[in-house]
Amino acid sequence: MDGADDALPDAGSLFEHAACGLLLTSADGTIRRVNQTFCRWIDTPAAALVGQRRLQDLLTMGGRIFHQTHWAPLLRIQGSVAEVKLDIRHRTGHTVPMMLNARESEHGGRLFHELAVFVAEDRNRYERELLSARKQAEALVVQQRQIEQALMLSQEELTRQRASAEDRALFAEQMIGIVSHDLRNPLSAIQLSAYVIERTDSPVEQKQSLARIRSSTQRAQRMIADLLDFTAARVGRGLSITLATIDLHQLVADAADELALAFPGRELEHRRTGSGPCRGDADRLTQAVGNLVANAMTYGAFDRPVRIASRIDAATFTLDVHNEGPAIPTEILAGLFAPMTRGVAAVNAGRSVGLGLFIVREIARAHGGDVSVTSSKESGTTFSVRCPR
C-alpha cells in the first residue's frame, strides 16, 4: 500500500496539471498563482500572469463590466460565485468561453479569491445551437401566424365574394321579377288597345286606344332606358354625359311642359332664381327632372301641386322638386337612392322598376355634384340636385 501511494503524483503536479484551470488572486484581482492548464488554454506563460496581470485584464469589455458590477459585489456578499460564463482572451486575440467558480478565503490575515475554471466550448456551442434553434422555432411560429392570418383573410375574402355573388344573384332574381311584372302592364294595355282598334270603327275609341298605346309604349321605353342606365352605372363606368352650355331655366320649363301632359289633372309649378349660363348635359338633366317629378307625383299628395325650382348661384346650379304629403319614413331615407328602392303606400308605385332615384344620383355625380333629400310632415319632401356651374 505504501509503495502504491508513493507512485501517485504529488500535490504540486496535481495543481499544475489539473483537469481545470486553477487560479489564486488577491482581493483586487491580481493573479498570485495559476496552473499550467489555464496557461495552456490561453497560451500565456505563468510568469507573464503572476503578479503582472489581474483577472479582469483577461476579460473582454463586457466581462470587465460584469466583474465590476456583479462578480466582485456577489463575492464580497456571498463569499462564493458559481458557474459564471465569461469570455477569456487568448494570447492571439480570440476569446475562449470559460465557466468560472470562485470562493473567498483568508490566508495569513489577507483575503484571496480561489478560482476553478473550465473551458465551455462544448457548452457554448450547445447554447449557440440552442439559440439558433430557438430563433428558427420563433421564425416558424411567426411564419405559421402569417400563414394563418393569410388563410383567415382569404377565407374572409371568399366569404365576402360568396356573399356578393349571392347578393348579385338575389338582385338579378328580384330585378327579373320586377321587370317582368312592371312591363306586363304596359304591354297588356298595348295589346288590349290594338284589339279595340281592330274591332271598332269609332274614331273616338280609336283615338283613346292609340293614346293608351303611346302612353304604355313610353312607360316601357322608360323602364328599358332605366335598366340600361342602371347597368352602365353598376359595371363601374358611370353614366356618360356630354357637357355643353345650357339655359337651365328654359330646360326645366320645357321639361315641366312635357311632364304636365304626362300627368293630366295634376298641378305642376316652376320657379326660377338667378341667371346665367351653366354647363351640363341637357338630356340627362331633363331625365333627372322627369324622374324626380314622377317620384313626387307618385308619392306626393294628389290634390297638392308639385313645385320645380331651378336656381343658379355664383358657382353652382340646383334643381329642387318639392311635393306635399306624408313624410318619408326615417328608416327608408338612408337607402333611398339605392337601386330597386320604392316608397310605401303609393297608388302608382308600379310605374317603374325602382331605379329612378338611383339614376338621378348617378346623373348628379356624373356632373360632379350630388343629390339630397329632406322630408317632414310639416314642410313636405324636397329632392335637391346640386352641381357645379
Residue 263 exposed, middle or buried by CB count within 10 Å (0-12, 13-18, 19+): middle
Q: In angstroms, rounded to a whole number, what is the distance separating the alpha carbons of residues 296 and 319?
A: 14
What does the pLDDT read at residue 163? Answer: 85
Q: In angstroms, rounded to a whole number, what is the distance separating the alpha carbons of residues 161 and 163?
A: 5
Residue 141, H or E segment: helix 121-199
pLDDT < 70 regions, the chain: 1-6, 123-124, 168-189, 192, 195-196, 198, 201, 209, 211-212, 214-216, 218-219, 221-238, 340-354
What does the pLDDT read at residue 174? Answer: 59
Taking 3-state DSSP, the helix, strand and coil percentages for the chain, each rounded to the nearest 5, stand at 55, 25, 25
Instruction: Compute the half-sphere exposure of residue 141: CA atoms within 13 Å on the CB side of its CA.
Output: 6
Residue 115, H or E segment: strand 110-119
Q: In angstroms, rounded to a whole number, what is the distance separating the alpha carbons of residues 83 and 198?
A: 115
Residue 166 exposed, middle or buried by CB count within 10 Å (0-12, 13-18, 19+): exposed
What does the pLDDT read at residue 114? Answer: 95
Name the nearest CA neighbour of 373 among 334, 316, 325, 326: 334
What does the pLDDT read at residue 49? Answer: 95
Q: In angstroms, rounded to a whole number, what is the distance separating the alpha carbons of residues 3 and 346?
A: 126
Tens of pLDDT, residues 106-149: 988 899 999 999 988 776 677 777 788 788 888 888 989 999 99
Instruction: Compute the half-sphere exposure of residue 194: CA atoms within 13 Å on the CB side of its CA.
Output: 9
Phi, psi of 9 (to 5 degrees): -65, 150
Residue type at 37?
T
Q: In angstroms, rounded to a whole number, what is the distance separating the alpha carbons of residues 159 and 178?
A: 28
Name the nearest CA neighbour of 292 among 266, 323, 264: 323
Q: Which three cell numbers stand for residue 148?
A: 394563418
Phi, psi of 89 (to 5 degrees): -80, 130
Q: In angstroms, rounded to a whole number, what is the distance separating the alpha carbons of residues 270 and 328?
A: 23
What does the pLDDT read at residue 132? Answer: 83
Distances (CA, A) of 355 to 327, 361, 388: 20, 10, 24
Give the predicted TM-score (pTM) of the model.
Answer: 0.49
Question: Which are the contacts of 195, defined by CB distance < 8 A and separation ≥ 6?
Answer: none
For 242, which DSSP code? -
Name the nearest CA neighbour of 277 among 309, 314, 308: 314
What does the pLDDT read at residue 184? Answer: 60
What does the pLDDT read at residue 356? Answer: 81
Q: If you write DSSP's letter for every residue of 210-234 in order, what string do you get?
A: HHHHHHHHHHHHHHHHHHHHHHHHH
What does the pLDDT read at residue 345? Answer: 46
Q: In angstroms, rounded to a whole number, what is the distance separating the alpha carbons of residues 345 and 322?
A: 18
Q: Which three cell numbers stand for residue 266?
A: 295634376
What does the pLDDT read at residue 170? Answer: 67
